[in-house]
Structure 1
Amino acid sequence: LVLAVNKWDGLDEYHRDQVKRDIERKLHFLSFAKLHFISALNGTGVDKVLKSVDEAYAAAMAKLSTPKLTRALIGALEKQAPPKSGRFTPKMRYAHQGGSNPPLIVIHGSVLDDVSASYTRYLERTFCEIFKLKGTPLRIQYNSSKNPFEGSKPKPLTESEQRKAHRARIRGRKLYG
């Protein structure tokens, strides 16, 4: 996505600053888009817009390899670890590309259900900087692995294990459970 503001040559300095502030305030959700100020009548800035359109298309259709994405993810984790969500810290293991136009990065790990929105934005910015994805939004999806033992009951101790645990309790040590 490329934003072009036309009739730029007809504005004085005060109104130019005001337009820039209004665009930043009202279109803050388009922070990924490149912004150009042009004058179509004079032809100034039009060539930069067309170059930005080509870059935005290339970024939207980019193919990102799994090893490079995983290395970028590990680098981001080393720089800033994800905050705890509840009792557990999210563990991010690897990342791969799940789609394009706009690019989708799928991150696999455990306890990823409650990753904060601010940490997701941090990862988006990091991936955009590393892979030079300018002019296209980046989506991140989390796939959390499930505990295979969740919901299953522990098997009962055998008779010899029960005697051993009883002796350990008497001596003040904890062996099982």
Structure 2
Amino acid sequence: VINNTAKISALEPESGVIKIAIIGRPNAGKSSFLNKLIKDDRVLVDSVPGTTRDSVDTHFTFGDTRFMFIDTAGIRHRGKVKAGIDYFSSIRTEQSMAKADAVLFIIDGYEGLKKDDLHFIYKIWEAKKGLVIAVNKKDLIKKPIAEYEKLIRERLVIAEYIPLIYMSAKTGEGVEKAVPVIKSVYDNLGMRITTSRLNSFISEIKYSIPKMVKGRKMFKIYYATQAEVYPPAVVFTVNYPELINKSFFNFLERKLRQKFGFLGAPIRLIFKSKKK
């Protein structure tokens, strides 16, 4: 639920600000979203794809939370980036992503999820950045939303771990709803699970852990602890880390998320051998 009394106002850059990069293909509605959110036309908007060439920082508060939104040039696959302005705009977009705490990735709802979208979404996730996916131009989507979302989830395997919102930057529908979702993802990046809860979790799943055996070696998890936040990193002490495969990694991540959430937050899973 949005607090209608939430105040949006300009801020000077300062510490303690949540930094959000707005990324998406050219003309997906990145600048239109930001202008509608802050009710200002400080970011140039045009129907010509690629109007925003440089990253633009906008500081404001929403309620009592300070944000810095970084509006970036439209993403382009490396094979399609030409020399000159497009090349340097692409570099600046990646630099903006690197300095951001999280990313609001905007999809053109009318055109749908494209290969370039998938390429950058996975790139953002692998960079361990918090992530919210916003489908813009909701008013132009012809399919029922449930059917449209099913198609996205079929093409994007990690979609179950990422909040997906629908909006229209043109009409303003759903724009302000993006802000508390982004804040919740940032909070999830900083979520800390106690060691006792993690070890209880291991006890709960021990009978469902896929058996991994090689010769006389049988895999076992002894205990776990959370080592870091922003993003969360969980260290598992095991007997034979060399037996871990991709299937087990995916199993453990899914179970962790089912238990603790972490929606929109990538998790680092680290395995170390128990000293004998």
Normalising by structure 1, what TM-score?
0.72
User: 1:39 — aligned with what?
Assistant: 168
What do residues 125-145 of structure 1 show as CA deviations (whole Å, max 9, x unaligned)?
111121121111112111012
2:180 to 38, 44, 51: 51
Q: Is the 8 A contact 1:103 1:139 kept in 2?
A: yes
Is the deviation greater in 92-101 or in 5-14? 5-14
2:246 to 110, 113, 117: 117
Distance 2:159 2:143 in 1: 24
Distance 1:54 1:114 in 2: 38
Q: Is the 8 A contact 1:82 1:90 kept in 2?
A: no
User: 1:141 — aligned with what?
Assistant: 270
Change (3 A) 1:43 1:99: same
Q: Is the 8 A contact 1:39 1:46 kept in 2?
A: yes
1:9 to 123, 126, 139: 139
1:126 to 243, 255, 259: 255
Question: Aligned with 1:43: secondary structure?
Answer: coil
- The within-5 A match list for 1:19-168 is 21=151, 23-78=152-207, 80-87=208-215, 88-147=217-276
CA drift at 1:117: 1.5
Read off the aligned partner of 1:51 and give its amino acid letter: P
CA drift at 1:115: 1.5
Read off the aligned partner of 2:225 and give its amino acid letter: H
Distance 2:263 2:144 in 1: 29
Distance 2:145 2:200 in 1: 45
Q: Is the 8 A contact 1:6 1:40 kept in 2?
A: yes
* Structure with higher helix content: 1
Question: Aligned with 2:258: secondary structure?
Answer: helix
CA drift at 1:123: 1.2
Is the deviation greater in 119-128 or in 8-17? 8-17
Distance 1:84 1:16 in 2: 38
CA drift at 1:96: 0.4
Name stretches of at least 5 consecutive residues in structure 1 with no aligned partner: 148-177
Change (3 A) 1:84 1:117: same
Distance 1:46 1:15 in 2: 17
CA drift at 1:81: 2.7
Read off the aligned partner of 1:12 and give its amino acid letter: K
Percent identity of paired positions between Structure 1 and Structure 2: 26
CA drift at 1:32: 1.6
Normalising by structure 2, what TM-score?
0.48
Distance 2:267 2:139 in 1: 33
Change (3 A) 1:45 1:63: same
Alignment coverage as a number of residue pairs: 145
Question: Aligned with 2:213: secondary structure?
Answer: coil
Distance 1:16 1:145 in 2: 46
* Structure with higher strand content: 2
Q: What is the RMSD computed on CA atoms of the aligned residues?
A: 2.2
Name stretches of at least 5 consecutive residues in structure 2 with no aligned partner: 1-130
